[in-house]
Structure 1
Amino acid sequence: MATATHLAELQQQIRQRYHDLSKRLQQVAHYVLDNPNSIAFDTVAVIATHASVPPSTLIRFANAFDFSGFNEMKQLFRKNLVEETSSYTERAKLLKESQTDASLDTPSNILQQFSHANTVALQELTSAVSPEQLNTAVNLLENADTIYVVAMRRAFSIASYLTYALRHLERRVVLVDGFGCMASEQLSLVNEKDVVIGASFSPYSPETIELCERGAAAKAKQIVFTDSQVSPLAANSDVCFVIKEAEVESFRSQTATLCLAQSLAVSLAFRLSRQL
């Protein structure tokens, strides 16, 4: 295997070899794929702490992909940031501002922290989601016989909004909420003409994973909202939106995911209006 010379090439190699890596190296792979800015700017010690591995594991990970050391691999991430857009500088600056040691003991400080963190998440959303992904997702929603929306626990607000919005567009929508322990029955008629929208974030909902797998077995198309390229929802998806949400002291937001969900619904509304 040749050493990757571009970030996209390295990320593809990591995804392809993920299940062949040891558990420790999978842990690093997970962090590397989901935190490119951290890999570009943070020290090896900081990255190791955030990935919950010893620094030596980062070196072994880099060696596994034919780099002489972890710092050599870091150069791909830095090069990519420089080549893509200068706005990353402002994003990095804002991210540092949102990670100050300011006290969170007043509502005003908490609001400020979440506002900063959500600003970063929304800015990164626009670069993380491609036009091709958006167009494909809207096409699937437009052509689906029935749209099944599956999102439990923390992600339920996403399912609730999408069900509301899509029904206002006169789509046939089934909210698979498991009421009365009847989630299986709610999904029992899914078929290849339908679309399943699944949403789950770490720690992933076992119910959502199982239901999305049932949708895949029925050959339904799948649109997924999740937080990692190696999420258990990603494997069977036709469109996988990987969203890095804001987080303040372990409290995670849903602002970016809701923004993306609303963008899909409004895009579909404009698409349908042109047909009238």
Structure 2
Amino acid sequence: MIRAPLTDAIVEAFDSLPSQLQDAARYLLDNPEDVALLSMREQARRAGLQPWTMVRLAKRLGFEGYESLRSLYANAMRQGELGFAGKANTQLAHQQEVGDRALAGEMVRSLAEQIAGLGEPEQLDALATAAERLYTARRIFCLGLRSSHPVVAHFYYVMSFLGEKAVMLDGASGTGTDAIRLATSQDILFVVS
């Protein structure tokens, strides 16, 4: 797992922070690439906070101001520690450390745990509820971007054998989501991310 700059420090201090600073800290933890690329004001807007809250968090974490904190994240991004490249580098290093067979074993065990978790009563109830909603929907608008696209494309393909209920929100020149304008309260948006 990629550890963005300050992750450990933020997690350690989190419970002692006032609620607004917790919201700012949560934003940093959830959006390290935004911290590296966006202005402090834009980050505050996206987090639903006042800009001075971001500055207060930076000072609470030992920085003179927010720009110093943002620079730390920007440097991590430049060095390939954030985003997909960072995840890929971490995965490759782990693979080299444990070997191909061990990594494959870890992946299979992880998938098995996730699938086994689907058999828990709460998960079964959630799946049944989702299936009922999909069944009763007039239309199912399907959206999956980037690496999630194949999952949604497969769902759409299978649904096409059951009728014309599914609508793929995909297309050239960015017009693929235009069909959502036809959605009503009787429809479902199926999104994979």
Higher fraction of helix: 2
Structure 2 length-normalised TM: 0.49
Structure 1 length-normalised TM: 0.36
